Amino acid sequence: MVTRSLRVVMVLALLSSLCSLAMADDGMFPMSELPRLNLAERGILLSAEELFSPGATSLVDGICRVNGCTGSFVSSDGLIITNHHCAFDAIQKASTRENDLLANGFSAATREQEIPAPDYQVRITEDYRDVSEQVLSVVTPGMPYLDRTKAIERRRKELEIAAEKEHPGLRAEVAEMFAGKTYVLFLYTYLKDVRLVFAPPASVGNFGGEVDNWEWPRHTGDFSFMRAYTAPNGTPATYSKDNIPYHPKRVVKVAPEGVDEGDAVFLLGYPGRTARHKTASFLRFEQDVRLPGIVELYQWQISEMEKAGAEDRAVALKHASRIKSLANVEKRSRGQLQGLKRAGIVATRTSSEAALQNFIDAESALKEKYGTVLADINTVYSEMSTAGQWEIELAQLRQACRAIAFGFYLYDAAVERAKPDLEREAPYMDRNFAQSSQEVRVAMSDWHPPTDHIMLTGMLERLCRKPQAQTIPALKALASNIAGINGKADELIKSTKLGDPAFLDACLKKTPEELNALNDPLLTLVIELYPAWTELRSLDKTREGRLNQLYGSLIDVKQQFESASFIPDANATLRFTSGHVRSYSPADAVIRTPISTLKGVMEKTTGIEPFDTPQAVLEKYAAGDFGSFVHPRLAQVPVAILYDTDTTGGNSGSPVLNAKGHLVGVNFDRCFEATINDFAWNTDYSRSIGVDIRYVLWITGTVYNGKHLLTEMGVGE
């Protein structure tokens, strides 16, 4: 006999599977899912094999990861199109007060003029295989959580090293797909010589700045070109003037005709992180603790850096990249906070968990196996909420104050490098150490001691006001005289050598004792705080081990409950998503159409940053010099497009492709309401934003001196 509650549960399960059908556009599909998708129904004229086909050539060979973003190869000579905000760090690092590429833009007339970006890497997915069984074989019943995390980490490293031996020249990385359940080993080509080729001025590439960031309608020409190089024999190599352009296996064809409202589009890219499978207790932790903490800390850092750069462009340039990424996350976090409250996501998830719990409780076998899973997950998040701000700030001390970050890297390297390779934290393993040290060295070029003094003061003051400071001798001493922290921080920053790359290089081979004996006062503070950070690292791993096991069980039982299979959360591995160019309604009686144009750029232009359209654009606009890049219906150069694909951070720079797989835009953002995508996708509010290819071509070829790039991409005007 079916009981009433069981009937309710069954109806709910049916409804929820109907819901997943209704939300068919939701999904960042891994390559393994492509054969199961009905691509034709999605308006795509390519087969799964034409999209991805390991061992043969497919569209994926034309897609790459560019640091944390995505890019596409648009010529057989390794020319990459990505976002302006993805190349931002390279543009900023190459800029000086006298030669301000960020403000003026940059166009290399010849290959020799292209500018090396030493902290950039490009990654291409070659192949993948499921290694879940091999990874999970090291987990034993009842294993302590910390040991569990460490055993899985070690196994992943072993598999990576073995795969790299098997495939010389490729890099292997094991990605966790479903926490505690599925793991996939990816094989990548990594290219290490990446150069800046073309960037519009920031007044085009970042038009609208933070005012318009995460908003639609948008009028930002957020694109740039880079180029990947290899050694003369075609193998990956770090920068050398003898290197030659990389020849990709596949070039993404540019479609200068662009798209129109209603057209099908799809994206391939490397979305960073989503949390769609996490519980209501996780969302509450985000809503009540982590996101508000981030907003407060980032707002403070941004405003201090802006003040520091207000009078001196050279200082502003040093901070530009950091301000940009902090501001991006700060505004996204505010969007997420608003979305969590408005969209009632926590309440919806709480009630679906109640239905799941009923389902579990209705059958004794399920109850025995999964009865406490949800409650146990809640316990972990409530522990994290209790420690909350303290842990966030302890970790942030190392982000906000750069010299502390450099000192931590140095000391951590000394401790970790003394261990056997497989037991080290990943950045210090032999296969990663050169790259991670290079990143620190490059970061030092932006070090600005007066700002670091402010950051150190602010973070130490915050920490010292917390009761936990009393448990750390170095902080306890500072906490006894909070008013004196400013002076102390000044002294520490003025006397440290930690911002100097030569000091870093001289210290990289030293032991922890030798570093201690240097008596650099700021490094000494780092060493005193080091046990607190490593304790936090162990605590995080313990929680990870526990959540990893619990989420594995949760997915198991949810799959039984919903009789559905799920798509793993984004994890910076290659994904496919599709949708249509489509309007949306952010509020009652408001409809926003999906194509913005140059006319809108003019309407927004005030002459004052961030709405200070460059003279060259104004002149071409006044002259009506649009070439063939006019939208036939709108009779304007289209600037940006809006579409309902499923994207997140990391999809920045992803190609927006038409039904034939040709490039019609470059993805760069989402609308404000869609910041909540990371927690729950919804057909009503989830919209992504890309720069229209016609604007890219017009700005590059008609407004600035990049006609040769259009020729290189096979585009005639």
DSSP codes of every residue in 152-205: HHHHHHHHHHHHHHHSTT-EEEEEEEETTTEEEEEEEEEE-EEEEEEE--HHHH
CB of 674: closest distance to ligand ASP in angstroms?
8
C-alpha R_g of the chain: 26
- Lookup result for tokens 């003061």: 457
Cα–Cα distance for residue pair 318/297, rounded to 1 Å: 20
Sign of the CA dihedral 65, 67, 71, 76? Answer: negative
326 beta partners: none
Among 669, 698, 702, 713, binds ligand ASP (CB under 6 A): 669
Interaction between residue 416 and ligand ASP (CB under 6 A): no
DSSP codes of every residue in 534-571: HHHHHHHHHHHHHHHHHHHHHHHHHHHHHT---PPPP-
In terms of CB distance, is 180 or 649 closer to ligand ASP? 649
Cα–Cα distance for residue pair 318/590, rounded to 1 Å: 41
Cis amide bond preceding 501, omega within 30: no
Q: Draw the binding track, 326-355, toward ligand ASP (x: CB under 6 A; -: no contact).
A: --x---------------------------
Given the rule CB under 6 A, which of 407-415, 449-457, 489-497, 667-675 is the region that contacts ligand ASP?
667-675
Given a contact cutoff of 8 angstroms between Cβ atoms, the answer to whether 674 and 216 are in contact is no
Backbone phi, psi, residue 83, to 5°: -85, 155
Among 145, 223, 225, 668, binds ligand ASP (CB under 6 A): 668
CB of 653: closest distance to ligand ASP in angstroms?
9
DSSP codes of every residue in 312-341: -HHHHHHHHHHHHHHHHHHHHHHHHHHHHH
Nearest 10 degrees: Cα torsion 595, 598, 603, 607? 130
CB of 577: closest distance to ligand ASP in angstroms?
11
Given the rule CB under 6 A, which of 152-160, 514-522, 583-591, 643-651 is the region that contacts ligand ASP?
643-651
In terms of CB distance, is 267 or 504 closer to ligand ASP? 267
Given a contact cutoff of 8 angstroms between Cβ atoms, the answer to whether 264 and 658 are in contact is yes
In terms of CB distance, is 398 or 670 closer to ligand ASP? 670
In terms of CB distance, is 222 or 520 closer to ligand ASP? 222
CB of 68: closest distance to ligand ASP in angstroms?
8
In terms of CB distance, is 336 or 496 closer to ligand ASP? 336
- Binding to ligand ASP, residues 670-689 (CB under 6 A): 670
Given the rule CB under 6 A, which of 58-66, 132-140, 439-447, 646-654 is the region that contacts ligand ASP?
646-654
- Binding to ligand ASP, residues 302-331 (CB under 6 A): 328
Backbone phi, psi, residue 658, to 5°: -85, -175
Given the rule CB under 6 A, which of 1-9, 106-114, 137-145, 642-650 is the region that contacts ligand ASP?
642-650
Q: Please list the helix, strand and coil fractions of the chain in percent, rounded to the nearest 5, in that order.
A: 50, 15, 35
In terms of CB distance, is 107 or 686 closer to ligand ASP? 686
In terms of CB distance, is 67 or 652 closer to ligand ASP? 652
In terms of CB distance, is 182 or 654 closer to ligand ASP? 654
Among 116, 649, 655, 706, binds ligand ASP (CB under 6 A): 649
Task: Report which of 505, 388, 509 is spatially closest to residue 444, judged by C-alpha positions.
Answer: 505
CB of 651: closest distance to ligand ASP in angstroms?
6
Cα–Cα distance for residue pair 636/712, rounded to 1 Å: 25
Interaction between residue 215 and ligand ASP (CB under 6 A): no
In terms of CB distance, is 298 or 411 closer to ligand ASP? 298
Interaction between residue 648 and ligand ASP (CB under 6 A): yes
Cis amide bond preceding 521, omega within 30: no
Given the rule CB under 6 A, which of 163-171, 298-306, 393-401, 662-670 is the region that contacts ligand ASP?
662-670
- Binding to ligand ASP, residues 603-622 (CB under 6 A): none
Sign of the CA dihedral 480, 482, 484, 489? Answer: positive
Given the rule CB under 6 A, which of 352-360, 432-440, 666-674, 700-708 is the region that contacts ligand ASP?
666-674
Interaction between residue 647 and ligand ASP (CB under 6 A): yes
Written as one letter, the residue type at 359 is F
User: CB nearest ligand ASP: which residue?
Assistant: 649
Contacting residues toward ligand ASP, per CB under 6 A: 328, 647-649, 651-652, 668-670
